[in-house]
Amino acid sequence: MTVVHYLNQFFAGLGGEEAAGSEPIRIDGPVGPGRALAAAGLAVDVTIACGDDRFGEHEQESLETLLGWIEELDPAVLVLGPAFGSGRYGYACGVIAREAGRRGVPVVTAMTPDSPGVIAAEGVAYVVPTGSNVASMKDAVPRVAALAKRLAAAEPIGSAEEEGYVPRHRRENVRSGRTGAARAIDLLLAKLDGDVRTEVEPSADRVLPPPPVPDLATATIALVTEAGCVPQGNPDHLPTRHANVWLRYPLDGVGSMSPDAYVTVHAGFDTTFANQDPNRLVPLDAVRELEREGRIGALHDTFYTTTGVDTPVATAVKFGQEIAAELKSADVSAVILTGT
């Protein structure tokens, strides 16, 4: 029985953000969390790894290499992560899990339930829910190992509710001893008691594309970013990750995101290039130029910022709604949002 384990550059010991561009690599035996899996009874034969930025920016190429190795190794089970709350790592785990799963490989991964990787996995892989950081490793590893061993042995796996994995949005017909009416009443009574549950999870929120801006020459455009750009010194202490706030800063008389005046405090990527010239994150100099030329009516006199790292979707939705409400009341026509 062959067990293959996927890790990002950090957990594979290749390095931190400076190694996020690392190309796919194949290592014999367990590495890092793979050793913990081995201690939990799942012996890892081969570790495969890729830098998070490399995967995100060269998804097809990276995926081809990794899937090539997986196909060659023909594992009884593929384990990915845990990725915890890391968006890029979780995304890579989710995509690889989905593609390997579609090729018939039993797959289990682990991450926070609101990771983009859960959406990327499209219900193909079993996803063990974890906490947002590595502190939950001890709890996650035995659960991942146990599920992986059962998958490798082709044992039947029960429902998400019974087994504790993240719901896969799959509907399976099961025979219930109770009628729909009785079950519906149960759900209603539970709800009246404050316990809201469902037999079918709702799907992700979707917003239709707003209509185009009719006349840019009279439009007010706002700049918003999740790249963590703040005035030098971070005077309002924007958190470097897990931000619970967004902030606004004036742009009156500011023509460019000068590195003397602005800095990014984002903990989710290598900020070296961004801090050499923060216009690379918030394209203020270019927008000002277009404003001077009359291509847009005006740039809104305030920019909005937060750090999008380990941010739960619910928090991001709340930030979006709050910022949008302010922009609407200021008669802003459209937003250029930049993300890292």
Partner 1 sequence: MFITALPTIAQMVGANRILKGVSITYPAGDPSLAVGDEHALRRRITERALEMLSTDVGPGTVWETP
Q: Under the rule (CB under 8 A), what is the footprint of partner 1?
A: 53, 56-57, 59, 87-88, 91, 116, 119-120, 204-214, 216, 221, 227, 269-274, 276-277, 279-283, 285-287, 289-290, 295-296, 313, 316, 334-340
Minimum Å distance from CB 91 to partner 1? 6
Q: Name residues whose C-beta falls within 8 Å of residue 199's C-beta, 6 or more positions apart in sequence.
A: 183, 187
Minimum Å distance from CB 298 to partner 1? 13
Distance, in Å, from the CA atom of 83 to the CA atom of 131, rounded to the nearest integer, reads 10
93, 101 contact by CB (below 8 A): no
Q: Which residue has the tokens 């550059």?
A: 9
Q: Closest CB to partner 1 among 192 and 207?
A: 207
> Nearest to residue 226, comparing CAs of 175, 257, 265, 262?
265
Preceding omega of 106 cis (within 30 degrees of 0): no
Q: Closest CB to partner 1 among 49 and 222?
A: 222
Minimum Å distance from CB 287 to partner 1? 6
Q: Closest CB to partner 1 among 16 and 209?
A: 209
Minimum Å distance from CB 340 to partner 1? 6
Count of CB atoms within 10 A of residue 14's CB? 19
Minimum Å distance from CB 255 to partner 1? 13
Q: Closest CB to partner 1 among 163 and 277?
A: 277
> Nearest to residue 234, comparing CAs of 165, 159, 176, 305?
305
Q: Closest CB to partner 1 among 169 and 191?
A: 169
> Nearest to residue 125, comparing CAs of 106, 144, 111, 152?
106
Q: Which residue type occupies 198?
A: T
Q: Closest CB to partner 1 among 181 and 207?
A: 207
Q: In this structure, is the dihedral angle defined by the CA atoms of residues 76, 77, 78 and 81, taken in order, positive or negative?
A: negative
Q: Closest CB to partner 1 among 193 and 205?
A: 205
First to last CA, the chain: 40
Residue 156 phi, psi (nearest 5): -65, 140
